[in-house]
Amino acid sequence: MSKLNKIGLNKDKSKALVKSLNVLLADYQVMYMNVRGYHWNIKGHKFFELHLKFEEIYNNLQIKIDEIAERILTLGHTPTHSYSEYLKLSTVKENTDVNDGIVALSDILKSFEEIILLQRKILSVSSEMEDEGTNALMSDYIREQEKMIWMFSSYLSA
C-alpha cells in the first residue's frame, strides 16, 4: 500500500496537517459568526463605516472557510462541519452581545493575531511536507492579514 495520498503527499503527515487545518477552519467559523454579529448589532457614530467594514470582513472569512474545507478534502480527509465541534476546537472565542465598534474591532484584531500564529505553524509543517497548495493558501492569508492587523491597530490607536 502506498504511503502517498492521491496528490503525492505523505498520508501520515497529511493527516497531522489536517488536524491543524480543522482547528483553523473552526477559528474562521467562530470568527465569522462573531463578525456577523458585530455587523448586525453595531451602534453609534461610526455605524455606517463599521457596518460596511464588518460585511467586507465576514464575506472574506466565508471565502476562506470554503477554501480551507476544500483543501482538507483535497488532502483526502473530511473537514469538521458542526458548530459544536467548532466551539470545542477553536482558539477564537465566541463573542456575543457586542454593539460597540471599538470592542468589536479589538476582538477582530485579537482573532487575527491568534489565527495568524496558527497559519504560520501550518505553513511550517506544509513547507516541510512540500505541500505547495497549503503553502500558497497560508502565505496569501498571512500576507493579507498582516496588513489588516497593521490597519486595525492604527485605527484603534487614533
Per-residue pLDDT of the chain (158 residues; tens, 9 = 90+): 689 999 999 999 999 999 999 999 999 999 999 999 999 999 998 999 999 999 999 999 999 999 999 999 999 999 999 999 999 999 999 999 999 999 999 999 999 999 999 999 999 999 999 999 999 999 999 999 999 999 999 999 96
At a CB cut-off of 8 Å and minimum separation 6, what does 147 contact? none
Q: Is 112 exposed, middle or buried (0-12, 13-18, 19+ CB in 10 A)?
A: buried
Is 34 within 8 Å of 111 (Cβ atoms)?
A: yes
- Single pTM value for the model: 0.96
Measured CA to CA, the distance from residue 45 to residue 128 in angstroms comes to 49
Q: The C-alpha cell of 87 is what? A: 466551539
CATH no., domain 11-156: 1.20.1260.10
